[in-house]
């Protein structure tokens, strides 16, 4: 599903950007944050958190999401998209937010999830979705 540009998603992600800036040590911000939702349920996500959770709880992340990501390459492996840009599978903020949503609502297709624009907390600028997220979530 395309990104959700509604005011509701914009405000939630912007509040989250500011929260991250206030609570993280300066210079220790996540690379990207995003908000994911379906119906009225919305969750924030930070880059790197999905893989940390996957490692720490021994693979207790949503199996459909892990499977979709693994279709490109195994988690934590490098994947090179058609434009020759390198991505590490599972590190995106979109994965973290989607996994949190899927822990509450399991019977959802990944391309039915809505995402806010992705932001870099350090600069407060919009970041384009990577090719992995475009393929995984249909962005």
- DSSP three-state, residue 54: helix
Angle (CA) 20-88-23 rounded to 5° is 10
- DSSP three-state, residue 28: coil
pLDDT band at 101 (very low <50, low <70, confident <90, very high): very high
The CA dihedral of 21, 25, 30, 35, to the nearest 10 degrees, is -30
d(CA 71, CA 5): 28
Percent of the chain with pLDDT over 90: 20
- DSSP three-state, residue 135: helix
Note the Cα 3 to chain centre separation in Å.
Answer: 12
User: Among the listed ranges 2-6, 38-42, 79-83, 112-116, which one has the minimum average pLDDT value?
Assistant: 2-6
- DSSP three-state, residue 68: helix
pLDDT digits (tens, 9 = 90+) for 112-129: 889 999 999 999 899 898
d(CA 110, CA 121): 25
pLDDT digits (tens, 9 = 90+) for 50-99: 888 887 866 678 888 888 888 888 888 887 777 777 778 888 999 999 99
d(CA 131, CA 139): 9
| Structural domain boundaries in the chain | 7-137
């Amino acid at each position: 599903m395309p990104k959700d540009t509604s005011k509701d998603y914009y405000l939630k992600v912007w509040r989250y950007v500011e929260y991250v800036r206030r609570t993280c040590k300066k210079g220790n911000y996540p690379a990207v944050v995003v908000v994911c939702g379906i119906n009225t349920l919305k969750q924030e996500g930070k880059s790197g958190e999905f893989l940390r959770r996957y490692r720490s709880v021994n693979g207790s992340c949503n199996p459909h999401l892990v499977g979709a990501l693994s279709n490109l390459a195994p988690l934590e492996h490098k994947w090179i998209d058609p434009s020759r840009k390198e991505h590490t599978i599972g590190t995106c903020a979109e994965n973290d937010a989607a996994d949190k949503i899927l822990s509450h609502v399991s019977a959802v297709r990944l391309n039915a999830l809505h995402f806010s624009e992705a932001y870099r907390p350090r600069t407060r600028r919009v970041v384009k979705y990577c090719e992995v997220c475009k393929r995984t979530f249909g962005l």
